[in-house]
Amino acid sequence: MRRGQGVLLAIALSLPNAAGGDELIARRLAALKAIADPGAVRAARAARPARDVCSGSRWWRLTEYGLRSRIDTAVRDASLRYGVEPKLVRSVIRHESNFDPDAVSRVGAIGLMQLMPQTAAKLGVVCPYEPRENVLAGTRYLRDLYLEFGRWPEAIAAYNAGPARVSSGRIPAETRVYVRRVIASWRPQLLAHITF
């Protein structure tokens, strides 16, 4: 057993018996397994729907203020961390999900910034419905696309339609409309610089 694992084991074994005996034993055994194999936790989370994994951390949904405050904090932190203007992040959220953290698109994009499951997994997102995780990952992805394409209109188009379509010049009509809406909400003066 590595250093620090003994402390985790002691905590796991001292959990109060709030549930039935069998459930308590199962939770303690799961904690032991996680100590022995940290990959087991990730595998267990991947096997369960994201809504189930994240349901315990949804206390902020109790009030409208709690949700708004959580989104504001997430946008501020993501903007500072990745150097993307907060107004742009808000514009993407507005046009992707209309600030609904439970939004799921017809193609399976999830949460505030409508992350596709494979993109979310690549970015290390565990709870895509949780505002902070979703906004941090979405902002990072948007910044990475900007670094790849060098211009915001192309980065925003790639965020919506995928980088391969933008690279090949096959940008769908609905993505062109989306880019104009996002930019109009963020920085209308850039509308004249859209070349597609």
Q: Which residues are catalytic?
A: 96
Exposed / middle / buried, residue 49 (Cβ in 10 Å: 0-12, 13-18, 19+): exposed
Which residue is associated with the tokens 């994009």?
109
**Rounded CA separation 157/62 (Å):** 34
3-state secondary structure (DSSP) of residue 63: coil
- Are residues 134 and 110 in contact, defined by beta-carbon separation less than 8 angstroms? yes
Closest to 186 in 3D by CA, of 113, 49, 87: 87
Estimate to the nearest angstrom the gap between the alpha carbon of 51 and the chain centroid. 13
Estimate to the nearest angstrom the gap between the alpha carbon of 177 and the chain centroid.
24
- DSSP string over 70-125: HHHHHHHHHHHHHT--HHHHHHHHHHHHTT-TT-B-TT--BTTTTB-HHHHHHTT-
CB 160 within 8 A of CB 180: no
